[in-house]
Structure 1
Amino acid sequence: MSRPAPPALTLPPWLAHALRAQRGPVPWSAVVRGALAAGPLLCAAVLADRTSLGVVAAIAAMLAGINDRPGSRRAAVKRLGAPALAGAAGLFVGTYAGEQVGAVPLTLLLTGLGLIAGGISAVGPVASAAGTQLLVASAVGAGMPLPENGWLRALAYLAGAAWLLGLRLVLPTPGSLAGDFRFDGERDAVAGVYDAIAELLVAVGTDDATARRAALTAALDHAQDALTGPRLRRYASSSAERRLHAQYAAALPLGEAATALAWVGEPVPARASEGPRRLAAAVRGNTHTGPLPAPSLPHARLRSRGETPIAPALRALDDALLHAAEAFDRVSGTSDLHTRRRTAKDVVRSMAGAGGREYGLRVALCFGASAAIAQALHHARWYGQHEHWYWLPATAVFLVKPDLGPLASRVLCRAAGTVLGALLFAGFAAVLPRPEGLIALVALSGALIPVATRHFAAQTAVVTVLVLALVMVGGEPQASVSRIVETLLACAIVLVVGHLPMPGQRGGGVRARLDGAAGAAYAYLAHVMRESGALRRESDRALRWTLRREAYRALAETRTAIALASAELPALARHTEGAEEVVATLERLVDTTTACAVHLDDSGRLTPVQTAQLTELLDELAEERDRAGLRLPEAPELRLAG
């Protein structure tokens, strides 16, 4: 008799997250830009006998390289430019503060900057990167001994970031030379939406449908971001831009119909995915679509209205495909993205909300405490030479960022990456010629950053090698040991502050996002029900698609926040228990609302089954909200057609 197999070893979530790495193809274009960024800047500065300014420019290029992610060129202007401006401002303020004020006022100033930057970071990814560079650069400006004054350092910082941004805008990416390479990122993003629609249609009626719908949401988010950058060469490229916007807009009704089909759950004809795939190829190659196959079977059109739940969705898919074909044949189209831009009021609300307050306080405590301890060590005779006290607060800034992973995972990865990077650099420093070998090491590290960003430990190791090389090129001694010691000290500070009780309810970031997602879902539902008699008007449909996009995007961001919170240590993870069940029910509510919208377009009224499902989902949300102790917006009172 065979023995039963031993149970598989299950790692705790916080440890499993630390061992997990992102996957995907190597971003060769970003690797080339990384190699041409910090290293050549530093080399030019050394040849011009302005090494210290070259070090500042290389630091800016390194931080910009961390933010150099896949996407369109125009979106990269904001993604790289806004954090660089914040970093230059931080360097300017930090330099003059470090020269003019004592240790205590400087610590208070840095603490105040931490509070502001932490609140800003709750607004979104670009704002988070800007807050990070603001704090890192302010610490560097206050603590790095350089001969130049503050405004010259800030200009060097901007020059380093502008150099990498210029490479991002000018250099073509692989496969982009077939057309206007300036829009290759936008074309690829829009084509990805049509590919995701095709994959969802293939998965309809299978267990993979939910995951495919989530992938469609991610593709739409990516395309939306790619098309919202600043307009470059407005008059020369306006026609091409408008066409891309129109192609994106044409994907919205297709995605809506595909989501409705996934909600029904009945498999669709295999040929239904052929049309979106041909549209994807036309966008990617900047060509005409040619003839498109009809997605639905002939007998689906002959069924009586309302006889079967799948018929309205099939007809909607057919109509959306014809609409897309017309949009693709036009020379130009509308530039309306069907999105609502974030206002100043929205930004202030995010900063002052529960998530912004909690994160701002933690960043302020970590940044201020690390700056105070670092300066105390700097003036302590028993500690020895301590020229790089800014390393401690700068390290704490990265460690306190929740968008880099759960707290325990961040600490483990940072410690392991720093030790590995410091040991590697010690070996390189022993054999490489100076400064030529160290400059080459900086260039190599810059090339590795786009690949290393897939795992925080790998990114930390590469950045450690690059920073230590910059320090030695600047004329200072090898500092691997002090780098390790201060990183471990920063890890301890962040771990302590991360578990301190704060005013208000814990898990504020997740709760704030869940609150926003619930509000967006309810607004979408209320619009579909309220405007059911007029949904055939194009303006009403455009608003419906805007609300639908906002609801799905808010839900996706909430899921990401919940996944990170659930991988925290148990003492922190317990504060967001029950949130995952609520967001799953909200997703089902939005899916059902989408199916109802398609059905209302077709017949003007809901079936009793759809009415009952909406009512049941709203009741279920109320129960889950009360059970988890969450404060969510009240569901709208709906007058359901039935």
Structure 2
Amino acid sequence: MAPPAWLLGGLRPSAAPIPWAAAARAAVAMSVPLAVGFALDEPQYGALVSMGALSGVIGDTADAYRMRILNIAVPQLAGAVGVTLGTLVFGHGWLAVGVLTLVALVSGMISSIGMVASVSGLLLLLNAVIGAGLPLPHPWWTAPLLLTAGGLFVLLLSLLGWPLRGRLPERTAVAATYRALADSLEAAGGPASVYDERRRQVTQALNQAYDLVLGRRARVHGRSPSLVRILAQLNVVIPLVEAAPAAHLRGRPLPPEIPAAVRDLADAVEEGRTGAPVLDLPAPHTPAERAVDSALRHAAAVVHLAEPDLHNVDDRLGRPAALGARVRRAVRDMMFSEASWRYGLRLALCIGLAQSLVSLVEVERSYWVALTVTFVLKPDFGSVFSRAVLRALGTAAGLLVAAAVLAEVPRGWWDVPVMVVLAALIPAFSAKGYAFQTAAITPVILLLSDQLNHQGFDLIRPRLLDSLIGCAITLVAGYLLWPESWHARIGDRLADTVYDAARYLERAFAPAPDEAALAEARTLRVQARRRIYRDLSGVRSEFQRALTEPPPTGARAAAWWPLVVAVERIVDATTAARVRVNHGAEPPTAQEVESLAHRLRELAERVRSSTNPVRADAEPADEVSGVLAPLHQEVAAARALVRPTADR
């Protein structure tokens, strides 16, 4: 009997490259504290610093140096608070149960704010569980200080290259956007499946580049010439991105000189080249060709500009709100969000059950039960069900390595070279998938735990038993008892995106009385388009998560994929029509735009009322020959994927 597809998907290693620099940092950050602890004859102190470094290694995922400060330092502060609370209730029985349950509620709710908050919530709860379950050194502030020192050591190592590579991550991300766009232009006019995949890669590259650049700008006061130049180079790629769908709808490939010129711009961005650009492009003839030619020449002029005007940057996305305002808005949204309360209550229920169980039943190393619950019950990290199964398998594999290490390696200085190897495997295996990450982390945690309690090989059996208990609690109380676990959330999110597509269509062809209104309309249109593609990226992430769920959820999720692709093509067709109008095509009438927007809103209602798409009889596309003809065809194709509720 073959394993189910959802399990094979989780066990199949990702094609992501191994982060060698992160692996080297992990090896140094986790072995040096251990060596210092042995040198000072305080191995338990060294183990605690290495534990703190482990949390820093897990959070060391950002490219930009300023983002690394947030990704590592902020969660360390949350972890310090957590271990302090746990230490204060250590050995207090039901008081510890109540405190950890409350911490779990807070941890779950703040996880809905964003990635940094999610990791902070994770560390808050993890360290609280460790403090409440392990006899840590006295006085009470010792453990928080040592754990935080380990995390900050990782941060220090990750920032060593900042003076030499301070702006490299942003430049690299912008250059990657140009290269992804070149691949998309190369695929334009060819097979639709190839072009769709290349266009999704452009969206992903744009999202990453804007996150890095705007994240850096939010912390820069005043105008930075280098930042303005990077932002200008990124903004001028938008007209090219908009022209790509129009070029694809031509039905024939673009001249090879065009993607080659875009790749040359990518090299210029990455190398910081300036000077007069040299472009040898064929003469354009159609509106789509003129759009590509105009956007490419404008991009070349901006990319090679040595000193952009600090006060005249084509900044369409607006300056981010102040940090304090964004924090207040995030906290307000969290407090009034049904989803954040629901997840917080799920996590609190599972942690409360885990702690109550180990308070009533004698369980060795009982804190591992709650630790397992915390790691598994992270819906924003992936499917709860598959994570529980994959964690059990990963733990079993990691225990085999740990058993060999604890049985054969003498306790003491030999642990240091072993830690060098095992710590380096954590970033390398984390890039390959959750089961691989668990298999790499398990022997490290056991080796460090052995420095604190000196149980050696006897740690193996309780570690496996407690992990299985934690996975069982999560599957029952955190998954099976919640109705939302049994259906994908793709439909509602996709319906919202279709509504946004209708508004985008109306905004794209809204009349503008003057040049100022035209410029403002274009800015709003670009923002709307970026928002739609970000939403579609979120839908695709939800789709990938749902595919790892067991039947029937995974099978139902798979049925949504054709509609996801159809909505992406609707947005592309709208953008292509607007680009063609900008370069000479006849604009559509207001009645035609209104009719198409109405049909899109009807489609959104169908999607929202559907548990999964049901193929309907194909609707004949309107017999039109204007600039919106491709959009009529895409809307008809999308509506054919979902039958009206009354017809079911």
Normalised TM-score (structure 2): 0.83
Amino acid at match of 2:367: Y
**1:338 — aligned with what?**
317
Query: Unpaired runs of 5+ in structure 2?
Result: 614-625, 629-648
**2:529 — aligned with what?**
548
Q: 346, 349, 373: which is aligned to 2:357?
A: 373
Query: Unpaired runs of 5+ in structure 1?
Result: 1-8, 301-310, 631-639
Distance 1:622 1:393, change over 3 A: same
Which 10-residue stretch deviates more, 22-31 or 146-155? 146-155
| Per-residue Cα deviation, 1:223-264 (whole angstroms, up to 9, x for no partner) | 122223356996999322222122111222221222332355
Alignment of 1:344-359 (within 5 A): 344-346=328-330, 348-349=332-333, 352-359=336-343
TM-fit CA distance, 1:140: 0.9
TM-fit CA distance, 1:318: 2.0
**SS state of the match for residue 570, structure 1?**
coil
| Per-residue Cα deviation, 1:413-467 (whole angstroms, up to 9, x for no partner) | 2112111211211211222232212222222222111111122122111111101
**1:308 — aligned with what?**
none
Give, in whole Å, the separation in 2 of the partners of 1:515 and 1:346: 24
Which 10-residue stretch deviates more, 354-363 or 316-325? 354-363
Contact 2:488–2:546 at 8 Å: present in 1 too?
no
Give, in whole Å, the separation in 2 of the partners of 1:432 and 1:521: 61
Answer yes or no: is 1:71 the counterpart of 2:63. yes
Give, in whole Å, the separation in 2 of the partners of 1:155 and 1:432: 29
| Per-residue Cα deviation, 1:266-316 (whole angstroms, up to 9, x for no partner) | 422221112210111011122237534355x4251xxxxxxxxxx333222
**1:39 — aligned with what?**
31
Alignment of 1:56-455 (within 5 A): 56-69=48-61, 71-98=63-90, 102-171=92-161, 180-207=164-191, 208-230=194-216, 238-288=224-274, 291-293=277-279, 295=281, 297-300=282-285, 311-328=286-303, 329-332=305-308, 336=315, 338=317, 344-346=328-330, 348-349=332-333, 352-377=336-361, 380=362, 386=364, 388-453=365-430, 454-455=432-433
Which 10-residue stretch deviates more, 575-584 or 402-411? 575-584
| Per-residue Cα deviation, 1:571-621 (whole angstroms, up to 9, x for no partner) | 544776865455334323322232233234334863479847655544433
Q: 433, 439, 444: which is aligned to 1:461?
A: 439
Q: 462, 476, 482: which is aligned to 2:462?
A: 482
Contact 2:284–2:290 at 8 Å: present in 1 too?
no
Give, in whole Å, the separation in 1 of the partners of 2:283 and 2:105: 62
Contact 2:94–2:359 at 8 Å: present in 1 too?
no
TM-fit CA distance, 1:332: 3.8
State the number of aligned residues: 599
Contact 1:532–1:600 at 8 Å: present in 2 too?
no
Which 10-residue stretch deviates more, 598-607 or 543-552? 598-607
Which 10-residue stretch deviates more, 590-599 or 58-67? 590-599
Amino acid at match of 1:63: S
Contact 2:580–2:627 at 8 Å: present in 1 too?
no
| Per-residue Cα deviation, 1:329-384 (whole angstroms, up to 9, x for no partner) | 1324557572656564355435643433432232222222122223333xx3xx5x
Answer yes or no: is 1:530 the counterpart of 2:510. yes
Give, in whole Å, the separation in 2 of the partners of 1:79 and 1:68: 7
Give, in whole Å, the separation in 1 of the partners of 2:33 and 2:316: 38
Normalised TM-score (structure 1): 0.84
Amino acid at match of 1:628: T
Which 10-residue stretch deviates more, 59-68 or 330-339? 330-339
Amino acid at match of 1:626: S
Give, in whole Å, the separation in 1 of the partners of 2:78 and 2:114: 15
TM-fit CA distance, 1:48: 3.4
TM-fit CA distance, 1:194: 0.1
Contact 2:10–2:390 at 8 Å: present in 1 too?
yes
- Superposition CA RMSD, Å: 3.3
Distance 1:390 1:125, change over 3 A: same
| Per-residue Cα deviation, 1:94-143 (whole angstroms, up to 9, x for no partner) | 222336xx322322222222222222223333222222111111111111
Give, in whole Å, the separation in 2 of the partners of 1:414 and 1:432: 26
Distance 1:290 1:263, change over 3 A: same
